[in-house]
């Protein structure tokens, strides 16, 4: 890679001359020997048996005319590999606590069907099961993250699943795996013990779930996986800090690899608003909910620090993203929504928060990967498009496994109807090759913001750029116009005496790269 800056921006106005200018924000980026590494798993994804996520999304079957590898679409495989997808969570979500893994193995024509009671009441034929998912993860080069069934399952069932996927020696489950065509185990590391136990996973209290978790975790053996298992507890619903406190207090740390947090950027659960046709008020409220992630991560981390000061237990934000009303004419239980530049800004700001809390946040999963909620990929039969969120996550992939660089600045404000939010969010890192990356987001829907970055300490001399632009924030990539929002050359910046000056357009995301 050349020793240069790469500045990639996502924004929506063609003429920067029309931008309102504000005072310059000075951004300080420093090296710190004790700074954490940004875990690549922060950039993880989520695939649930929900709507067209699996069937018609990832999986079309090996008899489909759509090019595929053992039933998995080749275009999706390529897109996710280009995204450097680090991990994929499956089979849910709410579906996980009704899923019995043995229904999804063996000859497909002999598999048991069930009704998906959570998502649309459709018949689930289990044609996509454990082998299909884990083999797909191998194709993607992604770590599988399996969610175990606690709500309607048993300890034995989960223990058998681990033996089936991980044990290389002779045993009932490894013999069954070999009978079904897989000789070597997959050695799955990440295991969720239930999902949303406070809700669709059983409506449990925190105290009750803590006891259930201890029981399940005790019988989860690593079956020869030298890396060991990472057991992940079903975490809190957004700001339920008591849930986190109860689990941290009552579960021995040697049984606890991670604890989850779920938070969606929803303005009103009864009326979420349109994914495309939204007002500035709806945009402001969505971003207010998105930026609440900073408070959630900070407060949950403080609770975890009381019981785990050495930060051995990871925070796993295994469901996050924007959630709007479904597209008109689609099944309400399929959660299919379009993806605009609002989602790009939401993703960039959220990922900055995760990066800056890399000492505790070590995995996250955007909900969801294909055709559901804030998807990075949408499909329509043989057609496939990449959303603005996809492009942000691809730009941010440079932070994976890089060392965090502490960043300091006072953000200008984005004001609407008497309320304010920080307009600018940022994070920075330095990778193993010495490349420095700085991610900048301007959530302001009308005003540009100027930033000045002192590049002297960073050793920056040359830079170049790319930009994604459109006419308005509601724009998106459609099947009729899949290339409406794509990167193009960007040169509107200045480097003066070791200071990089950038004007960040409204609702924009920028990544600066240099050495």
Domain assignments of the chain as residue spans, ordered by start: 5-36+405-514, 40-401
Q: Is 196 a catalytic residue?
A: yes
Cis peptide before 368 (omega within 30 of 0): yes
Catalytic residue among 196, 212, 289, 513: 196
Q: What pLDDT is recorded for position 490?
A: 73
Q: Is 419 a catalytic residue?
A: no
User: In a 10 Å sphere around its CB, with 0-12 CB exposed, 13-18 middle and 19+ buried, how is residue 222 labelled?
Assistant: middle
For 316, how many CA atoms within 13 A lie in the half-sphere containing its CB? 31
- Of the chain, the end-to-end C-alpha distance in Å amounts to 10
What sign does the CA torsion over 237, 239, 240, 244 have? positive
For residues 8-16, average pLDDT: 39
pLDDT interval class at 22 (50, 70, 90): low
Helices assigned H by DSSP within 180-273: 206-218, 241-250
Which single residue is written with the structure tokens 């200018």? 21
Model confidence pLDDT, tens digit, residues 467-477? 776 789 999 99
For residues 411-423, average pLDDT: 97
For 492, how many CA atoms within 13 A lie in the half-sphere containing its CB? 15
Considering only CA atoms, give the Rg of the chain.
Answer: 23
Q: How many residues does the chain have?
A: 515
Model confidence pLDDT, tens digit, residues 250-296? 999 999 999 999 999 999 999 999 999 999 999 999 999 999 999 99
Asked if 260 and 232 touch (Cβ cutoff 8 Å), the reply is: yes
- The per-residue b/e assignment along 494-512, b for 16 or more CB within 10 angstroms, e otherwise, is ebeeeebebbbbbbbbbbb
Model confidence pLDDT, tens digit, residues 226-251? 568 999 999 999 999 999 999 999 99
Model confidence pLDDT, tens digit, residues 437-462? 999 999 999 999 999 998 888 877 77
Model confidence pLDDT, tens digit, residues 87-125? 999 999 999 999 999 999 999 999 999 999 999 999 999
Residue (of 231, 207, 196) closest to 217 by Cα position: 231
In angstroms, what CA-CA distances link 58 with 128, 351, 375, 429, 493?
Answer: 10, 24, 12, 32, 40
**Would the CATH topology of 5-36+405-514 be identical to that of 40-401?**
no
Asked if 495 and 460 touch (Cβ cutoff 8 Å), the reply is: yes
For 457, how many CA atoms within 13 A lie in the half-sphere containing its CB? 10
Model confidence pLDDT, tens digit, residues 385-415? 999 999 999 999 999 999 999 999 999 999 9
DSSP 382-405: TEEEE-HHHHHHHHHGGGTTPEE-
Which single residue is written with the structure tokens 């079309």? 60
Answer CATH for 40-401 from 3.20.20.80, 3.40.228.10, 3.40.920.10, 3.40.50.720: 3.20.20.80
Which run of H or of E encompasses 440? Answer: strand 436-442
Average pLDDT for the chain: 92
- In degrees, to the nearest 5, what angle opens at C-alpha 447 toward C-alphas 446 and 449? 150
Answer CATH for 5-36+405-514 from 3.40.50.300, 2.60.40.1180, 3.40.1010.20, 3.40.630.30: 2.60.40.1180
Asked if 374 and 364 touch (Cβ cutoff 8 Å), the reply is: no
pLDDT interval class at 20 (50, 70, 90): very low
Q: What pLDDT is recorded for position 451?
A: 94
Which single residue is written with the structure tokens 């922060």? 42
Asked if 509 and 392 touch (Cβ cutoff 8 Å), the reply is: yes
Q: Which residues have C-beta within 8 Å of that of residue 189, sequence separation ≥ 6?
A: 143, 225, 227, 228, 229, 230
Asked if 472 and 14 touch (Cβ cutoff 8 Å), the reply is: no
Cα(63)–Cα(215) distance, integer angstroms? 43
Model confidence pLDDT, tens digit, residues 358-368? 999 999 999 99
Q: Strand 424-430 relative to strand 403-404: parallel, antiparallel, unpaired?
A: antiparallel
Model confidence pLDDT, tens digit, residues 312-359? 999 999 999 999 999 999 999 999 999 999 999 999 999 999 999 999
Q: Which residues have C-beta within 8 Å of that of residue 329, sequence separation ≥ 6?
A: none
Cα(256)–Cα(232) distance, integer angstroms? 7
Beta strands, E only, 16-86: 25-29, 44-46, 68-69, 72-73
Which run of H or of E encompasses 80? Answer: helix 74-82
Residue (of 402, 280, 276, 297) closest to 349 by Cα position: 297
For residues 137-146, average pLDDT: 98
């Amino acid at each position: 890679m050349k020793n240069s800056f790469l500045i990639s921006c996502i924004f929506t106005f063609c003429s920067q001359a029309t931008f309102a200018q504000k005072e310059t924000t000075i951004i300080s980026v420093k090296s710190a020997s004790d700074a954490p590494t940004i875990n690549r798993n922060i950039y993880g994804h989520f695939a649930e048996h929900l709507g067209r996520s699996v069937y018609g999304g990832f999986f079309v079957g090996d008899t489909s005319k759509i090019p595929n590898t053992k039933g998995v679409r080749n275009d999706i495989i390529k897109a996710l590999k280009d995204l450097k997808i680090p991990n994929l969570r499956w089979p849910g979500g709410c579906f996980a606590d009704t899923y019995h893994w043995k229904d999804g193995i063996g000859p497909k024509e002999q598999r048991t069907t069930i009704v998906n009671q959570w998502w649309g009441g459709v018949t689930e034929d289990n044609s996509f099961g454990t082998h299909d998912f884990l083999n797909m993860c191998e194709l993607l080069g992604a770590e599988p993250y399996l969610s175990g069934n606690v709500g309607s399952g048993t300890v034995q069932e989960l223990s058998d699943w681990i033996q089936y996927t991980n044990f290389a020696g002779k045993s009932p489950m490894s013999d069954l795996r070999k009978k079904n065509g897989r000789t070597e185990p997959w050695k799955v590391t990440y295991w969720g013990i239930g999902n949303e136990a406070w809700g669709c996973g059983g409506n449990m209290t925190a105290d009750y779930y803590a006891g259930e978790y201890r029981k399940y975790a005790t019988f989860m053996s690593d079956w020869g996986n030298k890396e060991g298992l990472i057991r992940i507890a079903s975490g809190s619903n957004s700001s339920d800090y008591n849930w986190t406190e109860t689990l941290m207090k009552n579960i021995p740390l040697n049984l606890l690899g991670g604890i989850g947090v779920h938070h969606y950027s929803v303005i009103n659960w009864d009326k979420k608003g349109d994914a495309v046709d939204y007002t500035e008020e709806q945009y402001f409220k969505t971003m207010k909910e998105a930026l609440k992630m900073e408070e959630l991560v900070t407060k949950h981390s403080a609770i975890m620090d009381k019981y785990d000061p050495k930060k051995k237990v990871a925070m796993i934000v295994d469901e996050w993203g924007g959630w709007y009303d479904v597209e008109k004419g689609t099944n309400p239980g399929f959660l299919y929504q379009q993806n605009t530049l609002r989602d790009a800004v939401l993703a960039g700001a959220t990922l900055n928060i995760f990066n800056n809390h890399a000492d505790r946040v070590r995995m996250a999963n955007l909900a969801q990967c294909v055709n559901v909620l804030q998807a990075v990929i949408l499909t329509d039969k043989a057609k496939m498009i990449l959303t603005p969120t996809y492009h942000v996550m691809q730009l941010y992939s440079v932070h994976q496994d890089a060392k965090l660089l502490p960043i300091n600045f006072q953000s200008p404000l984005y004001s609407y109807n008497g309320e304010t939010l920080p307009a600018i969010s940022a994070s920075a890192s330095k990778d193993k090759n010495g490349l420095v990356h700085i991610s900048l987001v301007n959530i302001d829907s009308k005003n540009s913001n100027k930033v000045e970055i002192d590049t002297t300490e960073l050793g920056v001399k040359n830079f170049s750029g790319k930009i994604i632009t459109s006419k308005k924030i509601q724009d998106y990539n459609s099947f009729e116009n899949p290339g409406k929002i794509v990167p193009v050359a960007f040169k509107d910046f200045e480097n003066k005496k070791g200071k990089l000056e950038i004007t960040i357009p409204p609702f924009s995301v920028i990544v600066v790269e240099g050495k």
